[in-house]
Amino acid sequence: MAALLVRSGDVSACVDEAVINQIRARVTAESGRKEIGGLLLGYRDSVSIRVVRCTFPGPGDKSSRSRFDRRCASHQLAATLWWARCRGRGDWVGEWHSHPEHHPTPSSIDRKSWRRQVEHTRSPLVFVIFGLSGTFAEILLP
């Protein structure tokens, strides 16, 4: 599977192929039994986002067939380590989760959660939903 490219206004985002492949493999392994998700980590400047890493569910997350609630401290820890490793150039740039449907669309809960995160960071973030076959991706601007 190729890298994922998405654009919103002047901002573009690229999710590296390696990240897509890692997530796709995990989503396929769950085969729709429960939703999973995590953070997208990478780099950003004023007009572009590049995703080069991601986090996967940890023991503190709440996961069911129709909902993934990212509560595990492991995600924030990974983001902090990434930031430190890149000497402040790396950043948390978005979030992913899975849906047990072929062509995923965001729920109203997803939309509310995404909006809250963008208001919190005051930076563009990229959100990706992996369905059983298709993928939904969007950049939200503050």
The DSSP code for 88 is T
Contacts of 128 (CB under 8 A, 6+ apart): 4, 15, 23, 40, 94, 95, 96, 135, 136, 137
CB of 7 to Zn ion, least distance (A): 22
Q: Based on CB atoms, which residue is closest to Zn ion, 6 or 90?
A: 6
Contacts of 55 (CB under 8 A, 6+ apart): 38, 39, 41, 74, 75, 78, 79
Q: According to the binding rule CB under 5 A, does residue 61 interact with Zn ion?
A: no
Catalytic residue among 17, 35, 95, 101: 35
Angle formed at CA 75 by CA 74 and CA 80, multiple of 5 degrees: 95
Contact 42, 57 (CB under 8 A): no
Read off the amino acid at residue 106: P
Out of 61, 95, 110, 138, which residue is the one contacting Zn ion (CB under 5 A)? Answer: 110
Q: Binding segment for Zn ion among 49-57, 58-66, 74-82, 107-115 (CB under 5 A)?
A: 107-115
- Is 119 catalytic? The answer is no
Q: Based on CB atoms, which residue is closest to Zn ion, 110 or 138?
A: 110
Residues of this chain, 80-99, that bind Zn ion according to CB under 5 A:
none
Nearest-CB residue for Zn ion: 110
CB of 67 to Zn ion, least distance (A): 8
The DSSP code for 137 is E
Q: Binding segment for Zn ion among 15-23, 51-59, 85-93, 104-112 (CB under 5 A)?
A: 104-112
Which residues belong to the active site? 35
| Interface ranges with Zn ion (CB under 5 A) | 107, 110
